[in-house]
Chains A and B, each alone.
Chain A
Amino acid sequence: MSALGAFLAGLVFGVGLILSGMTDPGKVIGFLDIAGRWDPSLAFVMAGAILVGFFAFRLAGLRARGFLGGAMELPRRRDLDARLIGGSIVFGIGWGLAGFCPGPALVCFGSGQDKAAVFVAAMLVGMLAYTIAERTRGASAAA
């Protein structure tokens, strides 16, 4: 049941990304091109998503479990650190270069676009590199 819920959430998420224009790298770059001819559309994507999300996460905060089971797992950290900011800057550079962030890249990969597949493969390699680096760090800290 919980997998079905997650599948439907992913499906609605993907349709939302397509409808909003987020899956079009040209449109994303148009949004980031604030110094050129700026397309502010993607600010409306965030406004729509946050409008619903604000109430959803307030309700979620009142519950201990999801309606299909599973503990309510909301992030609790509030500290700011260099990893958060540095990582986000590196992500932003990649986002600006290709016009893809993770969700839209997966959707375009799903439609069979080879260039999206290249991006997704490189993204997974990047995530794997992080996993290995953290494991090495953990091992050397334990030694």
Chain B
Amino acid sequence: MINTSFISNIVYGVTIDWSHFTPWTSFAGGLLIGIAAAMLVLLNGRVAGVSGILGGLLTPRPGEIGWRFAFIGGLLVAPALMRLFGTSVFPRIDASFATLVIAGLAVGIGTSYGSGCTSGHGVCGISRLSPRSLVATASFMLAGMATVFLWRQVA
């Protein structure tokens, strides 16, 4: 049984989920992400691509270790900072443990072969108008949308 909303969306246009739509806080968060990427490239001369920063620690080179751990440390500490301002970071994670393992493997392997993820390609690469990053971003977005669509058919 195929999901008919897919067809109605094509015919009548997309259905917006207004109840969850948060344009302004999402835009503000995006500005902060941009500022953080600006800080890393202007201060350290490095691209803020999370998968690349993490993956680089698996083949450590001299002078390329400290800043990587420091950046990841900042990511890990961010929830504690938010807690000081009364915001708890504990979102609901619906995926089962098995799904998380498969998804994690796919993300680790995919970002390694694809040389980047949402931050490195989607934010920094598109900011640099890199053709590789534009193609990569289109590829993972379309693959993500197709996956969610197919998942909705079976789950």
Residues in chain A within 8 A of chain B (CB atoms): 2-27, 29-30, 32-42, 44-57, 59-61, 63, 65-68, 70-75, 77-80, 83-103, 105-111, 113, 115-116, 118-131
Contacts and interface: CB of A to CB of B under 8 A. Distances in A.
Query: Interface majority SS on B: helix, strand, loop or mixed?
Result: helix
B95 interface: yes
Interface in B117-140: 117-119, 121-128, 130-132, 135-137, 139-140
A99 to B, nearest CB: 7
Given A14-B78, A16-B29, A86-B113, A97 B42 contact: no
B100 A118 contact: yes
A102 B87 CA distance: 21
Given A15-B78, A16-B32, A57-B124, A106 B93 contact: no
Nearest to A116: B93
Interface of B: 3, 5-6, 9, 14-17, 20-48, 50-51, 54-55, 58-59, 66-82, 87-95, 97, 99-115, 117-119, 121-128, 130-132, 135-137, 139-149, 151-152
Query: Interface majority SS on A: helix, strand, loop or mixed?
Result: helix
A13 B100 contact: no
Contacts, number: 516
B15 A36 contact: yes
Contacts of B89: 18, 23, 107-108, 111
A46 B47 contact: no
Top 9 A-B residue pairs of the complex, sorted by shortest distance between their CB atoms: A126-B108, A10-B74, A48-B30, A20-B29, A14-B78, A122-B104, A92-B143, A52-B34, A87-B114
Interface core residue of B40, B45, B76 (most chain A CB under 10 Å): B45
A11 B80 CA distance: 10
A1 to B, nearest CB: 9
Given A10-B73, A19-B32, A30 B121 contact: no
